[in-house]
Structure 1
């Protein structure tokens, strides 16, 4: 995988972390706001947020470990 493609994937994963956290907290944030229309599927934003956050975190950890393993195989 090229350096630019890997950097793009990692950048997207880093941007998905706060988005996932925001979606997880949406129900709590909007609970006390007047005039907010509730979702017809109440737990969907939380489930999507958890999936995004977990997926992005796992990708970043796996990517870092792959890069570390590749660096360990490189001779000095």
Structure 2
């Protein structure tokens, strides 16, 4: 659950630091956005798989 907001922060860090004085730009522009996107997508897929597994296991239990 914590990876989603942290990944979103990585995606928008370029926008946030653009207007700050004294911030040194990364020698690899766009890396934080790419890493943030991978983290958010990975966390989303993990959450969906976890919910799907729990629903599948709950469907097998008798009432």
TM-score norm. by structure 1 comes to 0.81
Q: In structure 2, what is the Cα distance between the partners aligned to 1:69 and 1:60?
A: 14
**Structure 2 stretches of 5 or more lacking a match?**
none
Aligned length: 63
Output the aligned Cα RMSD: 0.5
Greater per-residue helix proportion: 1
Structure 1 unaligned runs (5+)?
1-13
Q: TM-score, with normalisation over the residues of structure 2?
A: 0.97
